[in-house]
Amino acid sequence: MDFTLSEEQLMIQQAAKDFAQNELLPGVIERDESQKFPNDLVKKMGELGFLGMMVNEKYGGSGLDTLSYVLAMEELSKIDASASVMVSVNNSLVCWGLETYGTEEQKEKYLIPLASGEIIGAFCLSEPEAGSDATSQKTTAIDKGDHYLLNGTKNWITNGNQAEVYLVIAQTDRDKGHRGINVLIVEKGMEGFDIGPKENKLGIRGSDTHSLMFNDVKVPKENRIGEDGFGFKFAMKTLAGGRIGIAAQALGIAAGAYELALQYSKQRKAFGTEISNHQAIAFKLADMHTKIQAARHLVYQAACDKDAGNDYTLSGAMAKLYASEVAMETTVEAVQIHGGNGYVKDYHVERLMRDAKITQIYEGTSEIQKIVISRSILSD
């Protein structure tokens, strides 16, 4: 497939690169150490259109294609995966779900401020005992006529405390199995909705990750997305697109680490010459570059499938699986190439290595991606 970028796509890529270098890079180490959410930078990303990239312009978005979104995600993730995961959740999970399946009233009320960056959203599927398994939800939404009574706990929620709008997956009728699941729009501040402490994480420490507790929260019926029982399908469709965003994040982390390692190898000397002249280092760089290029093609393919209206379940899962593995492998090698300096925060690669690990876990672990892939290829 021809992945030649258009002039507009190149401009989006450059804009994201400039923002990452000029705005995200300064202070990224301090934000990581203090687990600080970049509120001021999020506002700027909203103003630049990064928070509603694929949303139609009539709803406050940028009206761009998925490939443009992937290009931006890669550049942002090279510098700050904590910021890029927030962009991914708001774009791939929250805005896309609302625009694709929401009513006009829901779009007017929630999508417009989300896409413009006035507020940010959160996608609430994971639970302490269910993980990302939508069929094993313990959170319940009992039908009370004009509203649902929401009870339960969600954990590992990105944008957990900073969000104003939450898309919550909950079980309404357990006897119906996956056909008894709904997705509800919950607003911050609703009575009975509490937010737990921020998680102290290994990586993406600047992202805002919390557990959410719902205790008899009254959610109006008009806040349900889709028909009764649509929640499982909503979750699966939304996660399929979310994998593309996380694959792009993993690609960016890998590419960022590789670029740092390549630059360092040309400056650092050992045994009388730059270490890039030693075959042991040169071969590492060759492997890193090759794997990153392969991952990039998989990610671009998934994005193009989505833009073309093709089924992107398989391509998205393959992109997410491979790109996350490459991110982990590449960042470990980048630390190795840096030697002792790689273990020092000032050189950035140790942070990228810590950030890389989560890409193998969220939006479904690597094992889940293999289940998705194997089911797809075995069903043919």
| Phi, psi angles (nearest 5°) of residue 130 | -110, -15
Distances (CA, A) of 327 to 287, 335, 353: 12, 12, 8
What's the CA gap between 193 and 41, in Å, rounded?
Answer: 27
What's the CA gap between 186 and 163, in Å, rounded?
Answer: 10
What's the CA gap between 14 and 17, in Å, rounded?
Answer: 5
What's the CA gap between 45 and 191, in Å, rounded?
Answer: 31
C-alpha 13: how far from chain center:
18
Helix (H) or strand (E) holding 264: helix 231-267
Q: Tell me the torsion sign for CA atoms 27, 31, 34, 36.
A: positive
Query: Among all residues, which ones are annotated catalytic?
Result: 363
Q: 96-110: b or e for each residue (b if 16 or more CB lie within 10 Å)? A: bbbbebbeeebbebb
17 contacts 25 by C-beta, under 8 angstroms: no
99 contacts 107 by C-beta, under 8 angstroms: yes
What's the CA gap between 350 and 331, in Å, rounded?
Answer: 8
139: its two tokens: 């959170």
Residue type, 364: G
Q: Of 97, 95, 92, 89, give the one whose Cα is nearest residue 66.
A: 92
Give the chain's end-to-end CA distance (angstroms, integer): 22
- Crossing angle between the packed helical segments 81-88 and 66-79, to the nearest 10 degrees: 160
